[in-house]
Amino acid sequence: MDAGLFTANNVWMMLATALVFFMHTGFAFLEIGLTRQKNTINILFKNIFIITVGLLLYYAWGFNMMYPGFEEGSSGIFKFSLDSFGISAPEGGMTPDYADGGYTWWTDFLFQGMFAATAATIVSGAVAERIKIGAFMIFTVVYVGLVYPIVGAWKWGGGFLDSWGFYDFAGSTLVHSVGGWAALVAVYLLGSRIGKFDESGKPKAIPGHSIPMATAGVLILWLGWFGFNGGSVLSADPELTSLVLVTTSLAAAAGGIGAFLLSTIMYKNLDLTMFLNGILGGLVGITAGADLMSPNEAVVIGFLAGLIIVLGVALIDKLKLDDPVGAVTVHLICGIWGTLAVGLFGDKAGAGQFMTQLYGVLIVGVFCVVCSFIILGALKAIMGLRVTKEEEIEGLDIHEHGMDAYPDFIND
């Protein structure tokens, strides 16, 4: 391969890595914007912890679990060929001989490491305002350190899902649903925030303290998704990369419009938060098949994801589950939709592919739910998951961190 092309490929992958890293800013802004100011530092602390510990865990063993493959006779399920802690570039890892010249080995590690922390970030928003910080940190270490690499290896590491033909281009299931399933279990075990449901069980709105910040967060996430999906091409291939960026953007736009229209029809108001989550739903929905879809198909997938957002939020409320930022609907329900859409639209559409996608969704779902119940159930029994009533009412910032994000303003 020409040295210039190898360099261009690697530069694009490093830029994509930076964009995925920047998504953590978007997640942080979205979460603090949609929650109350008295819990701002708590949410920011969790997000910073996720990034730092997630990258270190991925360095220690996560990357080696996901990608060197499986031992002979493992069937691509659990017997990983992990033979050391930490990472070191293999012979030829910094040359065009590695990954068909798409990037260097070090870039590969860093790009994939950015994905690893995202799964726990999804959980952070769902459990906001009432989870003990210590319990959340322990959960993050175990979930990012073990559950995410295992599921990732099943497809991206050449495991049994890959051999079945399961397709997930950039992680509708392997990233978003992995986080979404854990978020669902966590909100179930935690219970709802004080004041979320009245005595009759009717949901009550608990407004976030900064909708402008939440809006900025969504726009940052949209920008970051260019690296999330565009980088998953794994080279700077001009034809495929440009297609992926187009399908990603169109699905996001269509998702926002779909959510805006349906929420307006159902609730007779122009709800900006539903509009924003519709954009995110469209992005999650297209992630599994962004490289397979035509622009028209991307619009359809995104628009339907936007409708799913509105209906999913209503379903979560009906089930009396409390998800302050809509993480379960956005990342789990739309992640499932995007994964199944691969069998309905695009280059791989067909009944056989649809069933393979469905089996993959179910297997990953069962594994993540069981693991989440084990981890969170153990934490609940040993140390408790939820803060006290007093701490929840007065705010986690003061009780768990001893500081206020906005010391010059009245806390609410």
CATH number of this structure's domain 9-70+88-401: 1.10.3430.10
Query: Which residues, at least 6 apart from 61, have a Cβ–Cβ distance to it below 8 Å?
Result: 82, 85, 145, 149
Task: Kindly list the domain boundaries of the chain, sorted by start residue.
Answer: 9-70+88-401
Please tell me the distance from the alpha carbon of residue 37 to that of residue 8, in angstroms, as a whole number.
44
44 pLDDT higher than 60: yes
| pLDDT computed for residue 84 by the predictor | 66
Contacts of 115 (CB under 8 A, 6+ apart): 20, 171, 175, 228
Report which of residues 88 and 294 the model is more confident about.
Answer: 294
Measured at the alpha carbon of residue 170, what is the angle toward residues 166 and 175, in degrees to the nearest 5?
90
For residue 139, CA distances in Å to 74, 158, 409 come to 27, 27, 33
Model confidence pLDDT, tens digit, residues 29-41: 999 999 999 999 9
- Intra-chain end-to-end CA distance of the chain, in Å: 59
What pLDDT score does 409 carry?
Answer: 66
Give the pair of three-digit tokens for residue 36.
């109350």
Average per-residue pLDDT for the chain: 93
Instruction: Tell me which DSSP letter residue 90 carries.
Output: P
pLDDT above 60 for 105: yes
Mean pLDDT confidence for 247-273: 97
Task: Tell which residue, 206, 215, 56, 191, has the closest CA to residue 130.
Answer: 191
Beta-carbon contacts of residue 129 (< 8 Å; ≥ 6 apart): 35, 36, 39, 42, 193, 324, 392, 396
Band (pLDDT 50/70/90 cuts) for residue 407 is: confident
What is the b/e burial string over 323-344, where b = at least 16 CB atoms within 10 angstroms of the residue's CB?
Answer: bbbbbbbbbbbbbbbbbbbbbb
- CA of 400: how far to CAs of 129, 391, 392, 407, in Å? 11, 8, 10, 16
Q: What would the pLDDT profile of 340-399 be if each residue is shown by its tens digit?
A: 999 999 999 999 999 999 999 999 999 999 999 999 999 999 999 999 999 999 999 999
Q: What is the pLDDT of residue 69?
A: 73
Q: What is the pLDDT of residues 188-245, one digit of tens each?
A: 999 999 999 988 889 998 999 999 999 999 999 999 999 999 999 999 999 999 999 9
Confidence of residue 411 (pLDDT cuts 50, 70, 90): low
Provide DSSP, 19-63: HHHHHHHHHHHHHHHTS-GGGHHHHHHHHHHHHHHHHHHIIIIIH
Other C-beta atoms lying within 10 Å of the C-beta of residue 226: 18
Q: Token pair for residue 332?
A: 């789990």
Residue 412, pLDDT above cutoff 60:
no
- Please answer whether residues 312 and 289 qualify as being in contact, where contact means their C-beta atoms are separated by less than 8 angstroms: no
Asked if pLDDT for residue 299 goes beyond 90, the answer is yes
The answer to whether the CB of 279 falls within 8 A of the CB of 225 is no
Structure-derived torsion over alpha carbons of residues 231, 236, 237, 243, reported in degrees to the nearest 10: 50
* Six token digits for residue 182: 């854990």
